[in-house]
Amino acid sequence: MTAQDGTPPFVSVLMAVYGGDDPEWLSEALASLEGQTLTPDEIVIVEDGPLPSVLNQTLERFQHRLPLRRWAREYSCGLGAALAWGLERCRNDLVARMDADDVCEPERLEAQAQVFYDDPELAVLGSQATVIDESSQYRERRRVPCSEQVIYRRIWACPFIHPAVMFRREAILRVGNYDSRLRTRQDHELWYRCAEAGLRMRNLEAPLLQYREASQPKNRRLKVVLQHVAINLRGCYRVGVGVSGWVGSFGPLVLYFVPRALADALRRRLKFS
């Protein structure tokens, strides 16, 4: 695959790793990048604070198999700051996000890069995902809207699966990069700013990522949920959404107080429809 001017597509992969990551899942994530039909030009690994020896050994095992560029931070600063710092160090305009516990389908990078080369005005491109559990077994299909119109209309519902997204580095830096103050929801806050700037954003119909989701997720603190609601309300004000957006902004607070089974059903219905 080549661009219209005959040059090969150069893609950076941006991943943050911290001390609590599972080394087996990290190994699966890196192995899936090794098997891509389009080899990434670089894989920028931001080590968010000191890593235990087992994670270091995992990264060292792939050092000569993949174009890893490791950047270590002295202490953990959170995902928002780690991604902002890492994005500034990426050398290519096309940057694919990925987490240390997810698995890319073999054609992921090639499929997304091809769309960018066919559409020079596109800024953000995500995809559907297959949800897997701790044992990498299939759980369900995770769907997000594909069209730009629906994405803008449902921006309050975070219409992207963050580790499945590829974007143009220059466009993301132009709207201010990730907010380094945010340890959670840094992606949703960024999509609001992209929408405010009028950037073109889409999702592909194909599931290009295996998205790992724990069967028993960590308990979310009310403080974090309230921060999510605040991000929604500020974003809705800046973007100018309809009534459904303002009402939906309080969804995380509602989900916090209802039973888990009902929360999962509502989340699938309201966020990923």
Q: Could you report the per-residue pLDDT of 183-205, keeping only the tens digit for each?
A: 889 999 999 999 999 999 999 99
- What's the number of domains the chain is made of? 1
Whether 168 is in a domain gets the answer yes
Domain that holds residue 111: 11-219
CA pair distance 249, 239, nearest whole angstrom:
13
Whether 230 is in a domain gets the answer no
Residue 32, pLDDT > 90, answer yes
Assigned token pair, 156? 């309050």
- 231-240 long-range contacts, CB within 8 A, separation 24+: 231/182, 231/185, 231/188, 231/189, 231/192, 232/156, 232/188, 234/192, 235/155, 235/156, 235/188, 235/189, 235/192, 235/195, 235/196, 236/156, 238/192, 238/193, 238/196, 239/152, 239/155, 239/192, 239/195, 239/196
Whether 239 is in a domain gets the answer no
- The single-letter DSSP state of residue 65 is T
Maximum separation of any 2 CA atoms in the chain, in Å: 55
Residue 76, pLDDT > 70, answer yes
Find how far residue 156's CA is from the centre of its chain.
Answer: 16
Using alpha carbons, select from 118, 142, 114, 121 the residue that is nearest to residue 212.
142
Whether 265 is in a domain gets the answer no
Arithmetic mean of pLDDT over the chain: 91
Whole-structure pTM value: 0.92
Whether 163 is in a domain gets the answer yes
> What's 20's domain CATH number?
3.90.550.10
Taking the CA atoms of 243, 258, 126 and 19 in sequence, report the sign of the dihedral they define: positive
Whether 142 is in a domain gets the answer yes
Whether 232 is in a domain gets the answer no
The per-residue pLDDT for 172 is 98
- The single-letter DSSP state of residue 183 is S
Indicate the helix (H) or strand (E) that contains 219.
none
Whether 266 is in a domain gets the answer no
Q: Could you report the per-residue pLDDT of 46-61, keeping only the tens digit for each?
A: 999 999 999 999 999 9
